[in-house]
Amino acid sequence: MIKISGIPFKQNEKWQLGSIEKTIIQQMQNTSIVYSYNSQNELLFELKVRKNIIQSAKVMDKSQAVFTTFAYARCNPKYWQLTKTGGFLLRSDVQPGDAIMDIFRNSSMYAFECATAIPIIYYHAILFSIGEESFNSLFQNLYLYSWHTDTDLGIVTFNSTHFLPGDVLYVNNPDFDRKTPWFRGLNVVILEDGKLFGHGFNIRTAEEIIQILNEKRGPDSHKSAYITKLVTRPSFKYLYRAANFSLTDRTSKIQRPIVHHNKNSISYAHYLYYSL
């Protein structure tokens, strides 16, 4: 169920939505969970970001960036400094948006782990959602390493049996072979058709991904890999507001998201906004 300012949502016929956005709205409406928004624009922004997350995942799927462990990570030194731990630290002489775009433009120069792939997809999607100027203001000190993300991304993770296209799920492999610990699990983006993208696994059905992970289990293992109830997404509401403020205004008027978990409503994240 979708509510705008507490009122049940009715789609505006003037909206020119694509098939992905329509699929997301339909799935939101066909659940008892309440997706609450302050305005129609806030809802439209989330739909745009979710669509772009899906599109960014598809672009990464076709890229030449390869899956590897942190020990063998690599990046383009023109835009990033490779840290000892296998992270990518933004160079001080380049713009954040340019550096993120380079990962996709010169993908053959990059290798990273699946947990790092998700923030890269998020940043790429948000860049296309809010524009270069706002992106460069929000994300001036990018560091790509596993699930390390800028606080302005507002990543939230919670347990749920309901998820939407553009969400990220975790596939756990409890009996992974200790000789290949990188197959202990996989972070995947849900696409509009229900298929999943996982870096190093490409776009596959859930059954196909589970089958591949099951082949990476230890000897005499009988515990199958499975999709957990962990759902991860960026803070769409915070990003919507932050993208509409200049850097000076944002630091004085918007407080970063404070996350609370609520099993009965998607309003599990309550954001505090105030003016000084």
**54 in Cβ contact with 166 (< 8 Å):** yes
Parts of the chain with a pLDDT under 50: 246-276
Write out pLDDT tens, residues 252-276: 343 444 333 333 333 222 222 222 2
What pLDDT shows up at residue 219? 85
What is the Cα–Cα distance from 238 to 149, expressed in whole angstroms?
A: 15
Instruction: Spell out the residues 6+ positions from residue 241 whose beta carbon is closer than 8 angstroms to its own.
Output: 254, 271, 273
- Count: domains in the chain: 1
Write out pLDDT tens, residues 85-102: 999 999 999 999 999 999
In a domain, 6, yes or no: yes
80, 88, 127 from 201: Cα distances, Å: 25, 22, 25
In a domain, 20, yes or no: yes
In a domain, 275, yes or no: no
The CB density around residue 207, as the number of other CB atoms within 10 Å, is 8
Domain boundaries, position 158: 2-270
What pLDDT shows up at residue 221? 87
In a domain, 230, yes or no: yes
In a domain, 213, yes or no: yes
In a domain, 276, yes or no: no
| Burial profile 214-243: b = 16 or more Cβ within 10 angstroms, e = fewer | bebbeeeeeeebbbeebbbbbbbbbbbbbb
